[in-house]
Amino acid sequence: MARTQGSHSDITGPRIRKAALALFARHGYAAVSMRQIAFEVGVQAGALYNYTPDKQSLLYRLMHEHMQDLLSAYDELEQSADASQALRQFVGFHIRFHLERPDEVFIAYMELRNLTPENFSEIEALRRKYEDTLEAILSRGQEGGVFDIADTKIATLAVIAMLNGVMTWYRAGGRLSLDEVEQVYWDIVRRSVSA
């Protein structure tokens, strides 16, 4: 008989979040039931409530942790003083970080509307914080004369949107390697902002 009760599973919590992540990404938050998540973990639905107060918090935590990871990972990079170098760095970082976490990324921007207003505000603030790091690079280059950008706010959003597009088609082992993808996108981005 498999061990089913009593053991203080330090691993059940992570397993729940992992299962929820995969299911939310594939079917969408609203379309996934607590019972499906529980089944994936190999547990009854009631047991989930030892690890989350409710379904909404499960979603919020996934998104919050992802945004925190994103920001702290970028912070750990030592940014080049040269704006052009910094931009190249950003492009590479963004592509690699996001391609490594397709499920988190998908959720973090498809399930925003399923957050409560308060939760939404917090996630949105983190996202803007990330966007601001890119805009800072663009503004710096603009002032330094290495970039020629009509509107840095729009350019920021345009670049991020473009880079995010990678995730809709990139597949490991496909026609292009990660390095090639990075190179191609850097080519496009560089020229779209260069003086």
Give the DSSP letter string of 59-122: HHHHHHHHHHHHHHHHHHS---SSHHHHHHHHHHHHHHHHHT-HHHHHHHHHSGGGS-HHHHHH
What number of chain residues touch a second copy (CB under 8 A)? 34
Structure-block tokens of residue 171: 């597949």
158 binds, among a second copy, DNA, none (CB under 5 to 8 A by kind): a second copy
- Binding range to a second copy, per CB under 8 A, among 13-21, 95-103, 136-144, 147-155: 147-155
**Footprint (CB under 7 A) of DNA, residues 55-74:** 55-56
- Binding range to DNA, per CB under 7 A, among 3-11, 59-67, 103-111, 116-124: 3-11
- Binding range to a second copy, per CB under 8 A, among 2-10, 38-46, 59-67, 109-117: 109-117
- Residues 6 or more apart whose CB falls under 8 angstroms from that of 15 comprise 41
125 binds, among DNA, a second copy, none (CB under 5 to 8 A by kind): none
**Footprint (CB under 7 A) of DNA, residues 28-57:** 32-36, 38, 42-51, 53-56
Q: Which of 15, 96, 84 is nearest to 52 (CA)?
A: 15
> In terms of CB distance, is 14 or 165 closer to DNA?
14
Query: What one-letter code names the amino acid at 170?
Result: Y
Q: How far is CA 3 from the centre of its chain?
A: 36
